[in-house]
Structure formats: C-alpha cells, structure tokens
Amino acid sequence: MIRIENLGKTFGTGVAATTVLEGLSLEVAGGEIFAVVGPSGAGKSTLAQCVALLERPTSGRVVVNGEQLSDLRERELRVARRRIGTIFQSDGLFSRRTVAQNVALPLEYLGVTRQDAARRVAELLDRVHLADKARRYPHELSGGQRQRVGIARALALRPSVLLSDEATSGLDPQSTASVVALLRELRDDLDLAILFITHEMDTVMAVADSVARLDHGHIVESGRLVDLVRDPASSLGRALQPARPIATPDDGEDTWVVTYGGAGVTRDWMTRLPRDLDAHVSLLGASIESLGTDQVGHVTLGIRGVEPGRVRSVLAEYGLHARIVAAIGTGAAARTLEVVA
C-alpha cells in the first residue's frame, strides 16, 4: 500500500524557489494499479522521485505499508527502499552484462549467494516470460523485452510496491501491450500496489484501476477509471476516451452523444431504439471499450423529428446518458462536439 498525504516539493529558496508539487494526496491499495497522468511539466517525474525518496519532499508524508518513509534516516531509508521496485522510461540495463546478470544486480549488492541468486533470477525471468533470453545481451532484445528485464530486476528483492515512471513511453504498440499485460498479471499474482505514471491516455485505459490527473503540481481530478469514463461531466473521463471522427448527419437530424452510464446497459439497445422512438436512427460514430467485465464509451447518433426529452427518457431506460450536440466541422474533421442541450 502507498499513501501520499499533502505532499509538497519546492526546489530552491527565496525568490528563486519553484514549487513543483503542492498538497498532493492519494492512496494505492495492494492489488491496484493507480495511474497518474498529466502533460510535460505537470510534476509527474518529481512525484515518482518523492515516492521513492530519491528526492526528499519539502512537506507531507509518504507512507508505504504503514511505514512513514519521509521520517527515516538515510540508513533506514536504504532498507525501506527495498520494498519499492522502480521501473523507469530508460530500462537502465548494463550493455556488457547478460539478461540474467542484469536481473541479479540487486541480489549481488545484498550479498546473496550465487546459488540462491541464480535460483531467484531463473524464477523472475520465467515470470516475465523471458526464461529463454537469460544469456542474451540487451542489444539483442526488443524494447519491450528490455523493459520486461527491467521489471524482473525491480522485483528481485520481493517489493510490495512497484513504481512505474513512463515505463511504456517510446515503445511500439505491441511492446506496450506486452508490458501492460505483464503489469496486470503481476498485480493479480503478487497483490502489488502499482503507481503507474504516464502521459499516454490510451495506455491508462488498458492498465489502470484508478487514475488521477496532475496539473501544475496539483491533482485536479481523480477516481476509479470505470466511474470517470462513465461520467459525462468528467473532463478526465472524456480525455481518456479516444477521439474518433464522426459521419455528417443527414439534413434535419439532431446529433446525439450517448454515453454508457453503468453496468446494466441493455445489450440490444441499438436495435431497439428505432422501434421505441418510431424514428430513423443513424449511427455516426462510436468508441466502445471493455474494462474487465464492464463496457464503457460513447456512441454518436443522428435522430430526426423526436422531442429531446423523449430521446433522453428512452435511452435512460437502457442505462444510457444522452446529450444533444452540435458538431464542429464535417465528416472526418468533426472531432469536437459542443453541448447544445
């Protein structure tokens, strides 16, 4: 478990002081992947450094499994850090060491016997699905494979917390998918608390249980991922869903954006809607995804000649939220929608 309480970080003093983080609070439970998103300069990397106490917070507390790390002396902190595995954007592998030798590094520093270290390394490489690459060198691996070696090394000391700082940035989609699948597997199998820091919104949709948006050092919105993407009023929820072009509605059609609002959405609602409204319904676009057993996303429809209140009422019966909008642009350019009513 990771708990961050009113965390602040300021660099410099006096008129030269720059506050990067201020009043941050969040909690990551065991068995949870908590993503923190935000633009460059929002303070994401500083947050990662403060959680691992590579940078001392100016204020607030960092608590891992009930132990307040920010109060520890340097010697005690070195011991406490063993419970935090860290994965960075750069895999940080040593080019002249084999995969197995790279994974063994933390064990060597602790003086683990060669036999015990070899057993632990074999176990870790099997867990990250690289058992057949033990004698390879980093340059012989793909980017995704090198990142998985980094994950294996981060797990060497059996941490309860995993800190991922832009670990998928720069990877191709296939490599990103393999790293994401591995993190979810580790969360489930080892009950890890994973703090996943990234700027990649599509990766958040694939990996996270909860998410917070960091902006200018403050958390401006947070919550369970499925709740955010189902909330039409959530700006973070909208940002997490991919923007896709919509078709141009026919003359006289109102454009509606229909959002999945809960787990109980009627599965055949699209085929029932024209009959229940006694009207023609055009499918203009859709972005629907599965989060575990839940479906989330939105559908854009064109509906002609039906009073808005009736449209909302019928869609609400299906478990859907709806708003009538005006499309800015036409055809493939109509990516932005303005709420009308």
Instruction: Judge if 228 and 80 occupy the same domain.
Output: yes
Which pTM value belongs to this model?
A: 0.83
Same domain, 39 and 186: yes
147 CB-near residues (< 8 Å, 6+ apart): 87, 91, 167, 168, 171, 175, 179
**Do 209 and 279 have their domain in common?**
no
Which of 202, 236, 270 represents a domain boundary (last residue)? 236
Q: What is the pLDDT of residues 83-116, one digit of tens each?
A: 899 998 887 899 999 999 999 999 998 889 999 9
My answer on whether 181 and 281 are in the same domain is: no
User: Do 254 and 223 reside in the same domain of the chain?
Assistant: no
pLDDT reported for residue 243: 67
> What is the spatial distance between Cα 243 and Cα 246, in angstroms, rounded to a whole number?
9
Number of independent structural domains in the chain: 2
* Span between the terminal Cα atoms of the chain, in Å: 43
Residues 134, 190, single domain; the answer is yes
Point out the domain boundary residue: 207, 236, 265.
236
Contact predicate 4/53, CB 8 Å: no
Write the CB contacts of 133 (distance below 8 Å, at least 6 apart in sequence).
99, 125, 140, 141, 145, 149
Beta strands in 244-329 (DSSP E): 253-260, 281-291, 294-304, 320-328
Collapse the DSSP code of 178 into the 3-class scheme (helix H, G, I; strand E, B; otherwise coil) and give the result. Answer: helix
Q: Which domain holds residue 182?
A: 2-236
The vertex-335 CA angle with 332 and 340, nearest 5°, equals 125
Q: Do 222 and 275 share a domain, yes or no? A: no
Asked whether residue 295 falls in the same domain as residue 173, the answer is: no
Domain stop point among 186, 218, 236: 236
At 240 the three-state DSSP class reads helix
Q: What is the CATH number of the domain that holds 283?
A: 3.30.70.260
203 with 309, same domain: the answer is: no
Do 289 and 318 lie in a common domain?
yes
Place of tokens 């994974």: 103
The CATH code of the domain that includes 129 is 3.40.50.300
State the Cα–Cα distance between residues 62 and 52, nearest whole angstrom.
Answer: 9
Same domain, 75 and 218: yes
Tell me which residues of the chain have a pLDDT lower than 70: 242-243, 261-262, 327-341
The sheet that has 210-215: what strands, in order across it? 84-88, 161-165, 193-197, 32-37, 210-215, 218-224
**Pair 221, 76 in one domain:** yes
pLDDT the model gives residue 327: 52
Task: Provide the pLDDT for residue 337.
Answer: 43
